Chain A
Amino acid sequence: MITVCSAGFQTAVQDCGRPGLRKFGVTPGGALDSISLRLANLLVGNSESAAGLEISSGRIRLQIDSDRLIAWSGGQFEVRVGGNLIPILHCARVSVNADIGILPRRGGRAWLAISGGINVPEVLGSRATDLRAHFGGREGRALCDGDELHLGAEAELCARVRDEMPDHVSDWSAPRFVGRGKRLRIIRGKNWDGDIGAKLLAQQFRVGMNSDRMGLRLEGEEIAANRRELVSEAVTPGTIQLPPSGAPVVLLQGCQTIGGYPKIAHVITVDLGYAAQLQPLDEIGFELIELEEARQLLRARASEIALFRAGLEARFG
């Protein structure tokens, strides 16, 4: 059992989401940066898709009533167990009723994995919280102070990882993938044209206050749309929509399944994790690449994760 002493704001149970249900209007959702959650899970000996916590802001304090391992990834956070600082993408030992404290520094979002995973009931094949449709996770909502969450049984790998730990923190770590500074790489969308492209690429946008898990609302010099509204059709995380206001919206992992605004571009999948770290008032620009390069980058990312997984299995498996 994990007790949420202080829940912070918008902390929620997330896993790798529920793909395959878009035709029912159900967003795949899950962790906004699933790679961060997957790496944290691997570090504590979990399956990659185990449920963990997605943390956005506010001070978080947790306690666990059994010995467990934790790991975290994401933005700039200070994570402590007892008084000890736990570096990003390392594995840490947590003993019974030790305090886990999480404090955003520059912030963004962070993902915390706990050995055994968070064992809330599966809804439509996943433990992820759909905060918009209010199901999954803990009663379909963000966590509150005092919530208690069951943990799953640890996999065999967890015990071996624990045995090899020299101290309270591992002397191994997972690879850290960093973004390209203040730029997100994009490929052209269906309604891309030269004028829109020039305006999109030439400026630095500011992330608007009304951004959320569905999308980043960008503020900058208005972009005139070539079409006002189109017939509604599929959108996907990464899609950059251009509403009539002329202010582009970058859809994130929690986005709707169908949209009616022009799709001017798409943020490439490997950069979506960085997009999930952006906060209101952050500045961001775009860099255009070709589709094939985006796919090569994604394949390369998948190989790096596979290599890390193979390394862990070779050492502890």
Chain B
Amino acid sequence: MKIEALGDSALIIDLADEISDSSSLLPRVLSAAEAIERAKLPGVVDVTSSYESVAVFFDLRQVEPDIEDKVRVLIASAGGRVSGRKRRLEIPVCYDEEFALDIERVANHTSLTPDAIVAFHSSAEYTVACIGFMPGFPFLAGLPQQLRVPRLESPRTKVAAGSVAIANAQAGIYPLDSPGGWNVLGRTPQRLFRVNENPPTFLRPGDRIHFRAITRDEFEACKDDNW
């Protein structure tokens, strides 16, 4: 465990030195984040996790001077398992060519046919490593080796909400219209971020998901229910 300052009002705790295997590292990170959140330390305003680290944000006026020691002890005793049942969720994706903006680019890089790309993408099981970059955006681990393709040379100024995309070893879904540089393979009618719901995100870190291919008609029908 390596604890470092993230600016003057946060700590970042890197756990990569504890575990080399990424499938055990993520549950360890999630249980560490959960332990800190549950402890409700005075002055702590935000706790987040990502692939290898936990970040603890605090209000310097209220935080106790030994925050670093407290965090160290909490994480050391947190263990490597996440509490509660694992959620398994299905995300419908329409791979229609109108939505699959970069399927040819991916085909050129991987020497796979579009059908094979869809088959690889929709047969894998992914784990939500973290939510971030933009509200509700899931960073997904578990992309098949065969689909590893670099980011676009120059990012798009607008990627449509619902776009399902890949970049290097990562997969993700754009919950909102946004600029972005990942390779877009399809679009989901599933809403991932709703400001009026609690929690506002459909997915949570640790969720297992897989993509199910749907037709354009199914996409339009689901979209009406969801948006």
Question: A-side interface residues toward B, CB under 8 Å?
Answer: 19-26, 28, 123-124, 130, 132-136, 187, 190, 231-239, 256-259, 263, 266-269, 291, 294-295, 298-299, 302
Q: Does B47 contact A (CB under 8 A)?
A: yes
Give the number of A-B contacts (CB < 8 Å): 132
Q: Can you offer 25 A-B residue contacts whose CB atoms are under 8 A?
A: A19-B45, A21-B200, A22-B48, A22-B55, A23-B205, A24-B131, A25-B135, A26-B135, A123-B195, A124-B195, A133-B134, A133-B135, A134-B177, A187-B5, A232-B130, A232-B133, A232-B139, A234-B10, A234-B55, A234-B132, A236-B10, A238-B7, A259-B133, A268-B8, A291-B8
- Cross-chain contact A231 with B132 (CB below 8 angstroms): no
Interface residues of B in 181-214 (CB under 8 A from A): 193, 195-196, 199-201, 205
B78 to chain A, nearest CB (A): 16
Distance, CA A298 to CA B139, complexed state (A): 34
Of all A-B residue pairs in the complex, the 9 with the closest CB atoms, nearest first, are: A258-B132, A234-B55, A266-B7, A294-B8, A233-B50, A257-B132, A25-B135, A25-B132, A25-B131
Which of B84-129 touch A at CB < 8 Å? Answer: none
Chain A CB within 8 A of B31 CB: no
Known: A24-B136, A234-B53, A258-B48. 14 other contacts (CB 8 A): A22-B57, A23-B48, A130-B135, A133-B134, A134-B176, A231-B16, A231-B50, A231-B51, A233-B50, A233-B53, A234-B48, A234-B132, A239-B6, A291-B5
Q: Is B61 in contact with A302, judged by CB distance below 8 angstroms?
A: yes
In the bound assembly, the distance between CA atoms of A189 and B82 in angstroms comes to 30
A205 to chain B, nearest CB (A): 19
The number of residues on chain B lying at the interface, defined by a beta carbon within 8 Å of a beta carbon of chain A, is: 42
Contact present for B61 and A299 (CB under 8 Å): yes
Chain B contact residues: helix, strand, loop or mixed: loop
* Distance in Å: Cβ of A257 to nearest Cβ of chain B: 4
B49 CB–A CB distance under 8 Å: yes
The contact of B52 among A136, A231, A263, by CB within 8 Å, is A231
Residue of A19, A134, A235, A238 near B46 (CB, 8 A) is: A19
Residues in chain A near residue B218, CB distance under 8 A: none
Nearest Cβ on chain B to A192's Cβ, whole angstroms: 10
> With the chains together, A135 CA to B5 CA distance in Å?
31
Which residues from chain B contact A294 at a C-beta distance below 8 Å?
8
Name the residue of chain A whose CB is nearest to the CB of B5. A291
A232/B134 in contact, CB under 8 A: no
The answer to whether B6 touches A25 (Cβ under 8 A) is no
Question: For residue B178, which residues in chain A have a CB less than 8 angstroms away from its CB?
Answer: 132
**Does B137 lie at the interface of the complex (its beta carbon under 8 Å from any beta carbon of A)?**
yes
Taking A190-B12, A266-B7 as contacts, is the C-beta distance between A256 and B48 under 8 angstroms?
Answer: no
Q: Are A269 and B200 in contact (CB under 8 A)?
A: no
Q: Which residues from 141 to 183 on chain B have a C-beta closer than 8 Å to any C-beta of chain A?
A: 176-178
Check if A236 sits within 8 Å of B45, measured CB to CB: no
CA distance A19 to B46 in the complex (A): 7
Q: Is B220 close to A, CB under 8 A?
A: no
Q: Are B133 and A25 in contact (CB under 8 A)?
A: yes
- Report A-chain residues with C-beta under 8 Å of the C-beta of B45: 19-20
Contacts of A136 in B (CB 8 A): 195
A227 to chain B, nearest CB (A): 14
**B24 contacts chain A at the CB level, 8 A cutoff:** no
A20, A22, A239, A299: the one contacting B7 at CB < 8 Å is: A239
Residues of B within 8 A of A232 (CB): 50-51, 130, 132-133, 139
Residue of A nearest to B169 (CB): A231
Q: Does B18 contact A (CB under 8 A)?
A: no
| Residues of the B chain whose Cβ atoms lie less than 8 Å from the Cβ of A22 | 46, 48, 55, 57, 132
Instruction: Check if A20 sits within 8 Å of B53, measured CB to CB.
Output: no
Quote the shortest CB–CB distance from A135 to chain B (angstroms): 5
Assuming the A-B contacts A25-B133, A132-B134, A268-B8, are A298 and B60 also in contact, with contact meaning beta carbons closer than 8 angstroms in the complex? yes
Residues from chain B with a CB closer than 8 A to the CB of A237 are 7
B4 close to A (CB within 8 Å): yes
User: Given A25-B135, A25-B201 in contact, is the A135-B50 Cβ separation under 8 Å?
Assistant: no
CB neighbours (8 Å) of B48 from chain A are 22-23, 234, 257-258
Cα A291 to Cα B133 with chains together (Å)? 26
Check A234/B50 contact, CB under 8 A, given A24-B135, A25-B134.
yes
| A256–B134 CB distance below 8 A | yes
A291 to B134, CA, bound (A): 29
